[in-house]
Amino acid sequence: MENTQIKQFSNTREQRAKEILQIGSPVIVDENTYLVPSQFDSNKKYQVTHFDSYSCSCKDFEVRCKGKGLYCKHIKAIILFESIKQKYEVKPEVEKEIELIIDTPQKDVCPYCSNENIFKRGQRKTKLGIKQLYCCKNCKKRFVLSPIKNIKGNAKLVCLAMDCYYKGLSYRDISDQFSQFYGLKISHVTIREWVLRFSEVMEKYSETIKPQIKGVWNADETLVLTKRGKDKKNQMANYDYVWNVMDNKSKFLLASECSGRSRNSKDAQHVFKEALNQNGKIPFQIIVDGYRGYEDGCRKTFRNWAGERKVKFTSIKGHRKEINNNAIESHHSHQKEFHKIRRGVTKVQEYQDGFKVFHNFVRKSARKGLTPADKVGIGVNGNRWNTMLLNSIKQQKATQLTGEENMIESH
């Protein structure tokens, strides 16, 4: 009887908390203190604090809730207010999957058979804290409800590792950072697997987003140092060609393709096709350097010949005073800074995919504080790495289980 009464009080307080938020939002005094308006007296406010636990200055908390693990309506209003505020950090279409960011699935189901008939069965102690174990009554398997399966850490650590890596830190530096600040001993090899694995996942998702830019494209190729081994007779044997196509106005990178040691018109045609698949529409103009292979690649990709010329093809060779290719050259300088600390990579295309996601959706320009994706209207809000990871998993239908994610095939 007592438990039933406590549940009724809890439901009543939750309803009143919603009514309080309809009257007005709480006042944030500092990161641990809030002022919540009274439900019946607009001039009166109650102070709610949150350090190790919640506390409120109202009589209901002092008499009925304090020391019993219960919350008054004012504390419930703060909890609801914070959850709503977090929810709108990302786009409405991903609100249902917002729990990935806070490491809690929305619907508790078995990750193996998708059955909702699960129950708590023990706990697992890890360096990140105590994790609740569950058991399925249908398939009898035990599991932890976590968005990403079979990794040492959680989604936030994965995203932090990727952010640090694409901003210039080495794998060993990131490993040392986790050790110093989080007390986690995560091998640099593990971090490398995270970066390669989820760079591929995010790039596959980003390819489905169509910015549909009609303006001017800039195209150019550059060299990236690889770990093929030193060749004194042929210094260029240690480098691979990377071809990039970028929108001139927004600096949105439409394609970034590695052709190995090859450099011909077929490679130019391939990168133009990738850019067209990403964009969905042909450009008005393409600006390139003096390499003649671009013209042939443009002709074959866009059927740009005779009376069917759809794209204005412009080479800066001999016209540098009138026109330039600075947009793509600036990107290449950032790209070379990224590769400089690596001293050569083995999987060039995989890193280019990750750097493309970082450039388009994560890195903000110093002048306007916007990402290229923001400029073309397809940017993400909140924690940009987390949101991209969430949308990527959703795209691959990995969140159908909503518990632990099916293991994405690793390299």
Residue labelled with tokens 């609801």: 80
pLDDT digits (tens, 9 = 90+) for 269-278: 999 999 998 8
The CA distance from 355 to 338, in Å, is 9
Share of the chain above pLDDT 70, in %: 79
pLDDT at residue 299 is higher than 60:
yes
pLDDT at residue number 106: 40
The CA distance from 298 to 319, in Å, is 19
How many Å is the Cα radius of gyration of the chain?
27
pLDDT digits (tens, 9 = 90+) for 152-169: 456 778 888 889 999 888
End-to-end CA distance of the chain: 57
pLDDT at residue number 358: 92
Length reported for the chain: 411
The CA distance from 76 to 99, in Å, is 19
pLDDT band for position 254 (cuts 50, 70, 90): very high
The CA distance from 17 to 73, in Å, is 5
Helix (H/G/I), strand (E/B), else coil: 317: coil
pLDDT band for position 403 (cuts 50, 70, 90): very low
pLDDT at residue number 337: 82
Give 120's strand partners: 134
Share of the chain above pLDDT 90, in %: 9
pLDDT digits (tens, 9 = 90+) for 317-327: 877 777 888 88
Helix (H/G/I), strand (E/B), else coil: 263: coil
pLDDT at residue number 395: 66
Mean residue pLDDT of the chain comes to 78
Averaged pLDDT for residues 355-359: 91
Averaged pLDDT for residues 181-193: 84
Kindly list the strands in the beta sheet with 54-56, ordered across the sheet, starting from the edge strand earlier in the chain.
27-30, 33-37, 45-50, 54-56
267 vs 181, residue with greater confidence: 267
pLDDT at residue number 109: 67
For 300-316, the DSSP string reads HHHT--GGG--SEEEE-
pLDDT at residue number 332: 87
pLDDT at residue number 3: 67
pLDDT digits (tens, 9 = 90+) for 49-103: 887 778 898 888 888 888 777 888 888 888 887 766 554 443 443 333 333 333 3
